[in-house]
Amino acid sequence: MENLFLNKDLVTGNSLTVDGVLAYTALRIIIDESIPLYNQTNTVDCVSVNRLAYALVGDMDYEKVLIDSLVRGIVELSCGEWISIRKDLSTKASYEYVLDLSAMWLDTDKDKFIIVSPNEVYKIMTCNEVMKKKISMLKYFMALISTFDWALDSKVGHMSQQFIADQADNSVRTCQRYNDILEEMEMIFVYKSNDKVRINDKLKQIKNCYSRFADKSICEQYASNYENMYGVEHKIVQSKKNKSQADHNRRLGAIYNQICFNNTDYDKETIKEVYKYITNKNKALQDEIDAKYAQTYLTDSDKAYIEGLEAQKRDVSVFEQFDFLQSSNNFNSDDWGEQIDFSVEEILDMPTVCEVQMNPTKCEVQSDPTKKGSDANSVLQREGDNPKMDSETEKSNLTNRDNLEMIDIDSLFDEETDDRPVLSEEEAWELFA
């Protein structure tokens, strides 16, 4: 027998105790082996508790705890009218009954059911744990299997531990201990995510997902796909990006493209700023790529994600034509300019030169970033240092400093999008502590 079909409503929740689930499972095994309930003509059989115990553990050497649990389970099923005791043939030496099993017929076209294998039942019932724990763990395993998502071919589950505990009619702490045992036995696989999702402006831990151990690769792929799509380490989705910062980053990207087309009519400070922007971007992308390759398993989603990151890297050789960059000892260094020691998300939206000056100057951002010189064509036209700033300049500089508290993940991945997600400084500390 490859598959054992069990009524989901009976083996989950509080419909039956662990004793009832144990007896029901044993009866289903012998029914599937030799009692054709489907024709509703041969529904009565003489069943001994010893026979049921043997069906569970495959041996006649079993503990009295198992026998007692099965006897209680038969009585429970009888009280619930899932079986009918036609005659009790029990003696002091053994328990034996004539049972009408017609109510145990399972119509898989109408009834909710789960599928386990007799081998899974056997593995749990013969593991190196006390019998009472094994009986309880059997029901938990069935409850866990019952939460597999049908949309994922009933191979992966992603429900909360509290929900599974309710289905097993047990405490969360006990279920966690059972998870550890079942994982060690290689019966289940649990993917524990280190990522978070943003829900209503709060970061929440991504729930674990789980599967049978044989479906480990499917579970890992599902989890990785989910993290790549919703995890804050990959894509922060709920907030709006500060528009002025987004515009400035896109402007630097546009100037880089102009430089690639041999339009180099820009002042030195602008070119330095673009170079630093591109260098930091490449470093951040490479760090993220290296982090992915460090994983023990790469799913198809991971590989596609890496390809997307690689495509975003920019060629810095176009800057070799500028002597003032060539003369810098750090031109070919990954740490060009000031030392960089930020998380991936912070590096992806580095503050500009204009924003981090010790002595702020007035920066005018003009409409046309393609030419140098005139007021109409200068990208960043800097006026001389002036210790006396007017109110508008001071306000602008305060705004720029405020912008430094905003951290963006996507600003360098898509230079065409206006609305960008953002983390506050407090959220960033919470995320990367």
Q: Is 12 left (phi over 0), alpha (psi -120 to 50) or beta?
A: beta
> Helices 300-312 and 268-293: crossing angle, nearest 10°?
170
Q: So what's the pLDDT on residue 78?
A: 94
In Å, how far are 116, 211, 406, 410 from 203, measured between CA atoms?
A: 36, 25, 16, 18
Query: What does the pLDDT profile of the chain (433 residues) look like in tens digits?
Result: 678 999 999 999 889 999 999 999 999 999 888 777 777 778 898 999 999 999 999 887 888 999 999 999 999 999 999 999 999 999 888 899 999 998 888 888 888 999 999 999 999 999 999 999 999 999 999 999 999 988 888 899 989 889 999 999 999 999 999 999 999 999 999 988 777 777 677 777 777 889 999 999 999 888 888 777 776 654 443 334 455 666 777 888 889 998 898 888 888 888 888 998 888 888 888 888 888 888 777 777 778 888 888 888 899 888 888 888 876 544 554 443 333 333 344 334 433 333 333 333 333 333 444 433 434 333 333 334 444 444 444 444 434 434 433 333 343 334 343 444 445 555 544 444 4
Q: Render the burial of 415-427: b for 16+ CB within 10 Å, e for the rest.
A: beeeebbbbeeeb
Q: So what's the pLDDT on residue 110?
A: 87
Q: Quote the CA–CA distance of 185 and 187 in Å, as a whole number.
A: 5
Task: List for the chain the helix, strand, coil content (%; round to 5).
Answer: 50, 10, 40
Q: So what's the pLDDT on residue 418?
A: 41
Q: So what's the pLDDT on residue 43?
A: 85
Q: So what's the pLDDT on residue 336?
A: 38
Q: So what's the pLDDT on residue 18?
A: 95
Q: Report the Cα–Cα distance between both ends of the chain, in Å, rounded.
A: 52
Q: Which of 135, 145, 113 has the alpha carbon at shortest distance from 10? A: 113
Question: pTM of the full predicted structure?
Answer: 0.55
Would you say 117 and 4 are in contact if contact means Cβ atoms under 8 Å apart? yes
Q: So what's the pLDDT on residue 186?
A: 95
Q: Quote the CA–CA distance of 70 and 93 in Å, as a whole number.
A: 15
Residue 328 φ then ψ, to 5°: -75, 135
Provide the 10 A C-beta neighbour count for residue 283: 19
Q: So what's the pLDDT on residue 244?
A: 66
Q: Which two tokens stand for residue 266?
A: 């820009």
CA angle in degrees (0–180, nearest 5) for 153-157-163: 135
Contacts of 303 (CB under 8 A, 6+ apart): none
> Helices 49-57 and 118-125: crossing angle, nearest 10°?
90
Q: Which of 6, 101, 104 has the alpha carbon at shortest distance from 45? A: 101
| CATH number, span 147-231 | 1.10.10
Helix, strand, or coil (residue 18): helix
Q: Give the gyration radius of the chain's Cα atoms.
A: 33
Q: So what's the pLDDT on residue 120?
A: 95
Q: Where are the beta strands (DSSP E) in 145-195?
A: 156-157, 188-191
Q: Quote the CA–CA distance of 275 and 318 in Å, as a whole number.
A: 10
Would you say 53 and 74 are in contact if contact means Cβ atoms under 8 Å apart? no
Q: Quote the CA–CA distance of 330 and 312 in Å, as a whole number.
A: 23
Would you say 228 and 408 are in contact if contact means Cβ atoms under 8 Å apart? no
Provide the 10 A C-beta neighbour count for residue 309: 17
Q: Quote the CA–CA distance of 19 and 25 in Å, as a whole number.
A: 10
Residue 344 Cα to chain centre, angstroms:
19
Q: Quote the CA–CA distance of 193 and 229 in Å, as a whole number.
A: 13
Residue 172: half-sphere exposure toward Cβ, Cα within 13 Å: 5
